[in-house]
Chain A
Amino acid sequence: MLPTVGHRSTPWTPSAVSLVVVVAGVVVTVALALAARAAHDENEDRLLRQRTREAAAVLQAAVPGLEAPLATSAALAEVVDDDGRGVEVFRRTMGTQVGQGGPFVSLSVWRVDVPTPTIVLGEEPRLASAGDAERRALFRRAVATDGFTIHDLLGSDTPRLGYAFPTPDDAGLLVYAEQALPVDRTAVVQPDSAFDGLEYSLSLRMDGSPDTLLLASTSDLPLRGRVAVEAIPFGDASLRLAVSPEGDLGGSLLARLPLLVLGVGLVMVLVAGALTERLQRRRRYAEVLAEENARLYGEQRAGSLLLQQSLLPRSLPTVAGVEIAVRYVAGVEGTHVGGDWYDVIDKEGSLVVVVGDVSGRGLTAASSMASVRYTVRTLAAEGLSPEEILTRSNHLDEGQGSGHFATVVCGVAHATDRTVTFASAGHPRPLVVAGGDARWLDVPIGPPVGAGAEVQYASSTETLPPGATLLLATDGLFERRDEAIDVGLERFRAAAARAEGPLQSVVDAILAELTGESATDDVAILALRWPA
């Protein structure tokens, strides 16, 4: 069953890592978007300046179209006599410049010091109705100017511009022309012209004040947003050309790039944040699972150990003349309880000692161990000899079908005369330690109990020297992976020969030397010692 995780995590609180990812992502995205916008702005400015220069050049190119007829008129005016000869020539030549098809509504010739024109083509010039001072001021300026001089007639319902042009040889003559401007001062922008895609305004003065406006593409003035201004030399004045783009000069895609960057970036940041959060949640879930598993493992292992401990003798009998020590260590490997056991039974002054090891691990091994252990114990209590105990146990186990078999070493030790009788069912022989040396007791070894062999076990009897120590152990003490069994047995024998001191210390020292800090397999050791 899966552990419940929900109550441990906080589902609605994003992890710090996810927040960092999102915040960093947003910062980077906004920075990129700002950079894109700056690049776009710079590009638009550059394009607008370029377009404005082009438009100014187009307007500049139109100036000679005004100046040329004025210069021609001035040259012709000089040849007109006082008696009026040549006037016809002038009218014929310059007539095309006035009215329909010409740039001017009025063209006239003046003497500098006379308040009325000598020749008038087209409409009556407004200069004729202007004051003396205004006329004289204009003429003074015109005479001093190379090229034409502007006369501002914009403050009227029908706005005009006047152009004064002196004759070349300083004969006191001037040509004066007036040009009509559209009443609403708006101009239609022709497609594919220099002004295509632009809004513009053209003013007579560089201060760009509304009352000096000549022409504009829109009535919505002044121009707003991105505006570029260019000065165009025009007679004795400068025209002010102000230009702003109708849309984006660099194309709509480039214009949308910052927003695209922002949008796509934010979506990616959200996706990255969500993915990070998901990974974090999974990790947290895995951690909780691991915790739960560790807890369950611990519980299971504790239960297994409890079971195994309960199958071992709670106390050892006390027999005068023989010291007994035991040690049982549960291996660290896995939660499965092993099948090692030991037993000591007091039988009228003798001790029946048993050490066994059921193959395999787990609960079935433990229950199988319990079965064999109690069989052996019961048979021992009946007073049977070791070889009979094993033979009967093997026989009884036949057909149990547990799938486990047991190696058992079983013996009877007399406290007083130090004789021992041992039989083994596939179990390592007991070790005798005496006089600083250790040797294997010569015990015949039969097959393990429950291995499927119907056999009669045999035993051997020996009298041990005073002070002898007898050691019985399970293979967890000396068996190592990838090592021949004899190497481990010899390691056990050598350690036993070296160990000295009280019996329990001897057992503990051997255990420490052979298994180190932690035994991987279960280990059971049983020791008997006779007084010296």
Chain B
Amino acid sequence: MTDGDDFRCEVEHDPPVVRAFGAIDIDSCDVFAAAAEQLMGACGDRPVVFDLSEVTFMDSSGLAVLVKTNVAGHPVIVRNASTTVRRIIDVTGLSGVLVVEP
């Protein structure tokens, strides 16, 4: 079980970056979503970078945050995702929607 308390996010506004630390699942996705929404309200229609270098695991609840950001009109750039995280983006067909950078 992942304790939601272990997860945290850092937000940079210029350029817009969400930096996440820990596992993103049903318990922690609210924190992740709040960080993304904080940026969306303040960055116009600029792309939002999700730096996932410190993310150990992400499930569909995390993907939902990325997709929601994309649907809201902010191109999503996923950066430094681990193999596990890249894989969940691939198998859900989202690599064609989100920009995945090494």
Contacts and interface: CB of A to CB of B under 8 A. Distances in A.
Interface of A: 333, 357, 359-360, 401, 403-405, 407, 424-428, 445-448, 450-453, 455, 475, 479, 481-486, 489
Interface in B51-102: 56-57, 59-61, 63-64, 67-68, 70-71, 83-84, 87-88, 91-94, 96-97
Contacts of B71: 401, 403, 405, 450-452
Decide if the interface of chain B is mainly helix, strand, loop or mixed.
helix
Nearest to B85: A484
A453 B97 contact: yes
B25 A481 contact: yes
Nearest to A361: B26
| Closest 6 pairs (CB-CB, A-B) | A426-B93, A452-B71, A359-B64, A426-B92, A445-B93, A484-B84
Given A448-B93, A481-B59, A484-B87, 9 more contacts: A357-B60, A359-B64, A426-B93, A448-B67, A450-B71, A453-B70, A481-B23, A484-B84, A485-B87
A448 B63 CA distance: 11
Specify which of A357, A450, A481 lies most central, judged by the most chain B CB atoms within 10 Å of its CB.
A481
A61 B67 CA distance: 114
B87 A481 contact: no
> What's the interface size class on B, roughly?
20 to 34
B96 A453 contact: yes
Contact of B64 (A360, A401, A475, A486): A360
Contacts of B63: 359
B37 to A, nearest CB: 11
A445 B91 contact: yes
B93 A446 contact: yes
Given A359-B63, A403-B68, A452-B71, A482 B2 contact: yes
B57 A483 contact: yes
A448 B94 contact: yes
Contact of B67 (A452, A484, A485, A486): A452
A427 B96 CA distance: 14
A448 B92 contact: yes
B57 A475 contact: no
Contacts of B92: 407, 426-427, 445, 447-448
Contacts of A333: 26
21 contacts: A333-B26, A359-B60, A401-B71, A405-B64, A407-B60, A407-B92, A407-B93, A425-B93, A426-B93, A447-B92, A447-B97, A451-B97, A452-B71, A453-B70, A453-B96, A453-B97, A481-B59, A482-B23, A484-B84, A485-B91, A486-B91
Contacts of A481: 1-2, 23, 25, 57, 59
A333 B61 CA distance: 14
A403 to B, nearest CB: 6
A485 B85 CA distance: 9
A483 B85 CA distance: 10
Contacts of B94: 426, 447-448, 451
Contacts of B93: 407, 424-426, 445-448
A168 B15 CA distance: 133
A238 to B, nearest CB: 91
Nearest to B63: A359
A428 B71 CA distance: 22
Contacts of A428: 91
A448 B64 CA distance: 10
Contacts of A405: 64, 67, 71
